Structure 1
Amino acid sequence: MQKITVLCVGKLKEKFYLDATAEYAKRLSRYCKLDILELPESRLPEEPSPAQIQQALDAEAAAITAKLPKGGALVALCIEGTPCSSEEMSRKMQQLAVSGKTQLTFLIGGSVGLSENLKRRADWKLSMSPMTFPHHLARVMLLEQIYRAFQIRQGTKYHK
């Protein structure tokens, strides 16, 4: 059974995000061992300087690195990543599993993104869209796409 960790910067507070996350976690429990780890987001002033943003990214990267599961593949969600279709994501996840990388860790940064060091470390840089989404919504979207990837692999009618 594939192990999937979604490592997120920022905590969900809104009930609708929590409910959606719980629903996809329940659905995914049939296909993988899912861990969702939340790390605190660095506090920034209303108009942070580039140095303050970099300091926050560095602090968040250190917290992420400390929680990374050993081995497997690291997937960074970032705007400069490669977009892919649901079918392509399903194939990529399957290819990683077949190649022995049964542990997949998806990184979702906070409101200022992910550090360049983490992006360089990633085995796969994934862009959900060229549009900007709240990172809390990105978590729900990612979980749905992971679920869809398993459904595609199984050949169910979920993916039309």
Structure 2
Amino acid sequence: MQWAAPLAVAVAALCFASVQAACPNGFTSIDDVSEGTSTCIRLVQSKSTWQGAKAMCEMFGASLAKLTGDFHQAAIEEIRKFPELTDEAFWIGGSDEKSEGSWYWLDDDPIPLGTPHWYPCNNQPNHGTDQNHLCLYTPDFFYHSLEQQRQIYSICQTDTI
């Protein structure tokens, strides 16, 4: 009977640990309330082009972030935890490079235009074929189209482990 209490504590600890989302080193677990899941993101504080950011995320075993639904807001809240990042823009994983005006995530899911994600005040996305890549732009972190050669930070995303 003396083993029953330690066994119960060990089982409870194991169950609790399995509920906690684990992320690879350098990534933070973010809850996607709309999906009821957790995903790991990394705020990459090294400026690069969109293609460079995509390659860097792949080097981490991740991809440029797909910020949909409430997960977009959760990522904004993560950025705002770091005051030094609130004046920066961040590449995320969308583009209309394949077909002008038709925006897609890297996994080929379509990106709906308009609110609540796109910046509403200057007709985003804009600038036609000059700006084919998706970013979160300061200070509001709505979606913005941007020219791919711009050097900005990025957000990588991967599944929990």
TM bin, normalised by shorter chain, reads under 0.3
Say which structure is richer in helix. Answer: 1
TM-score normalised over the length of structure 1: 0.27
TM-score normalised over the length of structure 2: 0.27
Say which structure is richer in strand. Answer: 2
Which structure has the larger Rg? Answer: 2
